């Protein structure tokens, strides 16, 4: 392997840290928990879509299941189902980017809701409760 197996859990979790740290502030702006900033929204939507386009299957490669994790073993077993669910997130990230480019706050709010739904679909199935 090009990446040491010991580094793979960190790779997988870092991937989702990037997803969460780009999605979170957008959701916070929509909810009114953070002041709305059009430029910031667009920059976050661009990075979120870019990160979502990075090969997620590789993040679940050999060694990625080692160590303490809230990921359930099934996510490594039901690969086709997981990748199908992830494809919905990728698609939603593109719609969200289009909405952010339009600047239409209603459309952005709807796209955030749809995207959050694609996060939750996987968490419900494959992530243990905190
Ligand atoms: C977030 C976050 C999630 C999702 C999820 C959406 O901001 O950290 O896991 O949104 O709550 O339903």
Residue 33 lies in a domain: yes
Asked if 30 and 115 count as a contact pair (C-beta separation under 8 A), the reply is no
Question: What are the tens digits of pLDDT across the range 39-60?
Answer: 999 999 999 999 999 999 999 9
Question: Ligand 1: residues whose CB is within 6 Å?
Answer: 20, 23-24, 27, 116, 119-120, 123
How many structural domains comprise the chain?
A: 1
Residue 130 lies in a domain: no
Predicted pLDDT at 21: 98
Residue 116 lies in a domain: yes
Calpha distance 33→47 (Å, rounded): 21
Phi, psi of 71 (to 5 degrees): -70, 130
Residue 101 lies in a domain: yes
| Full residue range of the structural domain in which residue 79 is found | 5-125
Q: What DSSP element (H or E) covers 110?
A: helix 105-126
Predicted pLDDT at 6: 81
Which residue CA neighbors atom 10 of ligand 1 most closely?
A: 116
Which residue CA neighbors atom 3 of ligand 1 most closely?
A: 119
Assign residue 99 the CATH number of its domain. 1.20.120.10
Asked if 1 and 57 count as a contact pair (C-beta separation under 8 A), the reply is no
pTM of the model: 0.95
Residue 35 lies in a domain: yes
List all residues 6 or more positions away from 36 whose beta carbon is below 8 Å from its beta carbon: 29, 105
Residue 91 lies in a domain: yes
Residue 73 lies in a domain: yes
């Amino acid at each position: 392997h090009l990446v040491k197996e010991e580094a793979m859990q960190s790779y997988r979790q870092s991937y989702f840290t990037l997803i969460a740290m780009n999605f979170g502030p957008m959701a916070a702006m929509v909810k009114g928990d953070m002041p709305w900033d059009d430029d910031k929204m667009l920059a976050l939507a661009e990075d979120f879509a870019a990160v979502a386009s990075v090969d997620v299957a590789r993040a679940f490669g050999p060694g990625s299941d080692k160590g303490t994790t809230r990921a359930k073993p099934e996510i490594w077993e039901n690969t086709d189902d997981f990748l199908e669910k992830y494809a919905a997130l990728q698609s939603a990230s593109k719609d969200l980017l289009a909405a952010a480019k339009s600047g239409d706050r209603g459309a952005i709010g709807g796209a955030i809701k749809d995207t959050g739904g694609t996060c939750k679909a996987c968490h419900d199935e494959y992530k243990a409760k905190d």
